[in-house]
Amino acid sequence: MNFCILRAPGTNCDGETARALEELGCGAEVVHLKRLLDGRVDILGYSGLVIPGGFSYGDHIRSGAIVGRVLSHALGERLSRFVDEGRPVLGICNGFQVLAEAGLLPGFEGTSRFPEMALSKNASSHFEDRWVHLRAGESSCPFTKGMPPVLRMPVAHGEGRVVLPPGGLERLEANGQVALRYALGSGEPAGGRYPENPNGSAGDIAGITNPQGNVLGLMPHPERAFLRILYPDWTRTGGEGYGDGYLLLRNMVEYVRRL
């Protein structure tokens, strides 16, 4: 089992993501985008794909726009095949933005030639770097199955506000595509309140999946919540063992093992 972790100029979470997957017993190869584009590496040679966080190409134009459009135009057919075969694709923060720009999410009718949603500037108008509470939705995504009632992971982004076309939120909910929502510490819905919903996303959405369930984009960083020692209160609550990010990544790995 070997995961491709995509690297492009400006990404900065590929190392942590690779380390987390290796801890779960997987191969994890950090692959520069150029190696995929010039054919030295074939995406179909991997069990799964992770697009990590960061600021790819400096987030010029829009966050994730350049990598998203490059993937769509240069590797669209192979990526569509990758997804159609049921292989997992995980986009974390900037990776979520890339998946939206590439037309892989929300994927109402499969891969789209053009973006069907936007991850726009935060409603607070500034960069949000904080730990948030999350609830896993009743979605088709196996990566979020069996989660505790409340999860904690960090966010760090300036453009994470989910914006959908008219009827888009209702369609996501009807399809079971809302995988994660921002919540209060009690587990109750954030209800759009700031800072519990740190960016003003519609429906408190923190992560969505495609209808098939094997493509997940989320703004929180599971690789930064992989170990308890990474939590800001670890000295008070104990730093032993794994964090909530471990649960999501473990589920993704277990999903691959069942394919």
93 is catalytic: yes
Multiple choice CATH, 2-258, 3.30.70.1450, 3.40.50.80, 1.10.150.120, 3.40.50.880: 3.40.50.880
pLDDT at 59: 87
The helix/strand/coil state of 90 is strand
- Assess contact for 7 and 30: CB atoms under 8 A: yes
pLDDT category at 138 given cuts 50, 70, 90 is: confident
Mean pLDDT, the chain, whole residue set: 96
The helix/strand/coil state of 199 is coil
Check pLDDT > 90 for residue 109. Answer: no
Check pLDDT > 90 for residue 20. Answer: yes
The single residue of 4, 13, 26, 93 carrying the catalytic annotation is: 93
133 is catalytic: no
- 245-259 pLDDT, tens digit each: 999 999 999 999 998
Check pLDDT > 90 for residue 112. Answer: no
Once rounded to an integer, what is the mean pLDDT over residues 214-236?
97
pLDDT at 27: 96
pLDDT at 241: 95
pLDDT category at 114 given cuts 50, 70, 90 is: confident
Q: In this structure, what is the dihedral angle of CA atoms 22, 212, 146, 48, given to the nearest 10 degrees?
A: 0
pLDDT at 237: 86
Check pLDDT > 90 for residue 74. Answer: yes
The domain limits of the chain are 2-258
CA neighbor of 251 nearest in space, from 52, 71, 88: 88
pLDDT at 139: 92
Q: What is the pTM of this model?
A: 0.97
73 is catalytic: no
pLDDT at 44: 97
Once rounded to an integer, what is the mean pLDDT over residues 45-68?
94
Once rounded to an integer, what is the mean pLDDT over residues 172-196?
97
Beta strand ranges found along the chain (DSSP E): 2-7, 27-32, 48-51, 89-92, 118-120, 128-136, 151-157, 161-163, 178-183, 205-209, 215-218
